[in-house]
């Protein structure tokens, strides 16, 4: 192309863009979504949310998913992030940050700018056993080989519950990573494993493929002892598990800060709820999310989110939060 033709092309492109005919005509709001490890179900959820936000907002909201090493990191970064920063974490950690307790000592006033947007699937405890292990309840785990993993919420929760249920020295815990649990179960090397994940959890589905499993239910007394949120995994969620399973869950939600403008928070919240059913068709874990979970968020709602909830007729649920 000659210099003359190149100059003409550049001039034409400039005019084209100036009159709104180019890609710049579509206003984009960029959002950073801090999630979890890339191998986790919560990272998969984040990718789904990013896709739903782009589609539901007609390209107005573009979400970039960032991997993280865990929920504590996500909350701590909220004190230093500017702009449209969204992060996921259990409400219990947000409450600790607001109070300046435990891992958030000393208190940082920046955490007071955290605002809630919407709940996402809860972190649900699963206690999985081989059907041929003859285990019908938690007491039946005595003398059994069992994997809980290392360092994760699920590992800590299982160990705590075994202590509460009087099983600390009775369950034979196998000292391996949780990633080894499914093949070990299938090969008959262990009798079961515990895992925390939104149902249906991929590793539990994998365990149920070609192997008969059972999920253990907690009694009402055991539930009360855990002081966790009660949750029922519906019958039929996993192959061969044709009964409701009563267990515990740790609520999880999406948060931002006051640095996000009201319109962006409104559009994100509206797009999430209006796209939830479609996301649920692809991954069933979204079907367990409902507006009652607004009462668990633990931090003040963002004004933009409040606008959507009021428009949706959820004023009572918002005030309960």
pLDDT of residue 27: 74
Across the chain, mean pLDDT equals 89
pLDDT of residue 239: 96
pLDDT of residue 175: 94
How far apart (Å, rounded) are the C-alpha atoms in residues 62 and 53? 7
How far apart (Å, rounded) are the C-alpha atoms in residues 320 and 309? 12
pLDDT of residue 9: 40
User: What interhelical angle do 262-282 and 303-311 show, nearest 10?
Assistant: 60
Give the torsion through C-alpha atoms of 60, 61, 64, 66, to 10 deg.
Answer: 170
Q: Which domains does the chain have, with CATH numbers?
A: 26-120+252-320 (3.40.190.10), 123-250 (3.40.190.10)
- Residue with more model confidence, 10 or 78: 78
pTM for the full model? 0.79
pLDDT score of 99 more than 90:
yes
The arithmetic mean of pLDDT across residues 290-312, rounded, is 95
- If pLDDT is split at 50, 70 and 90, which confidence band does 16 have? very low
- Residue with more model confidence, 1 or 304: 304
CB 68 within 8 A of CB 35: yes
pLDDT of residue 25: 44
pLDDT of residue 155: 93
CB 94 within 8 A of CB 114: yes
pLDDT of residue 241: 97
Q: What is the pLDDT of residues 172-188, one digit of tens each?
A: 999 999 999 999 999 99
Give the torsion through C-alpha atoms of 189, 192, 194, 195, to 10 deg.
Answer: 70
pLDDT score of 6 more than 70:
no
The arithmetic mean of pLDDT across residues 140-157, rounded, is 93
pLDDT of residue 133: 96
pLDDT of residue 38: 84
The arithmetic mean of pLDDT across residues 157-168, rounded, is 96
- If pLDDT is split at 50, 70 and 90, which confidence band does 317 have? low
- If pLDDT is split at 50, 70 and 90, which confidence band does 234 have? very high
Over pLDDT 70: what percentage of the chain? Answer: 90
pLDDT score of 20 more than 90:
no
CB 178 within 8 A of CB 208: no
Token pair for residue 137? 């309840």
């Amino acid at each position: 192309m000659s210099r003359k033709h190149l100059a003409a092309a550049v001039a034409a492109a400039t005019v084209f863009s100036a009159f709104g005919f180019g890609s710049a005509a579509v206003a984009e709001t960029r959002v950073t979504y801090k999630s979890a490890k890339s191998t986790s179900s919560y990272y998969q959820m984040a990718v789904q949310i990013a896709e739903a936000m782009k589609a539901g907002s007609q390209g107005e909201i573009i979400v970039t998913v960032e991997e993280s090493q865990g929920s504590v990191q996500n909350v701590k970064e909220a004190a230093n992030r500017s702009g449209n920063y969204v992060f996921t974490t259990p409400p219990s950690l947000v409450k600790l940050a607001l109070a300046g307790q435990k891992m958030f000592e000393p208190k940082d006033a920046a955490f007071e700018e955290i605002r809630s947007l919407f709940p996402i699937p809860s972190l649900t405890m699963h206690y999985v056993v081989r059907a041929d292990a003859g285990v019908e309840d938690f007491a039946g785990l005595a003398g059994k080989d069992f994997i809980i993993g290392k360092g994760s919420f699920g590992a800590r929760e299982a160990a705590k519950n075994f202590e509460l249920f009087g099983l600390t020295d009775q369950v034979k815990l196998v000292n391996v990573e949780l990633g080894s649990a499914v093949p070990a179960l299938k090969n008959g090397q262990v009798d079961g494993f515990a895992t925390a994940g939104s149902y249906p959890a991929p590793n539990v589905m994998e365990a149920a493929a070609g192997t008969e499993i059972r999920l253990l239910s907690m009694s009402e007394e055991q539930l009360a002892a855990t002081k966790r949120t009660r949750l029922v995994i519906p019958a039929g969620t996993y192959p061969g598990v044709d009964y409701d399973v009563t267990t515990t869950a740790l609520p999880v939600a999406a948060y931002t800060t006051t640095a996000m403008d009201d319109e962006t928070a409104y559009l994100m919240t509206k797009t999430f709820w209006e796209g939830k059913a479609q996301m649920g068709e692809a991954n069933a874990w979204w079907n367990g999310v409902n507006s009652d979970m607004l009462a668990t968020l633990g931090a003040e709602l963002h004004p933009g989110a409040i606008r959507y909830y009021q428009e949706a007729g959820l004023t009572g649920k918002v005030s309960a939060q």
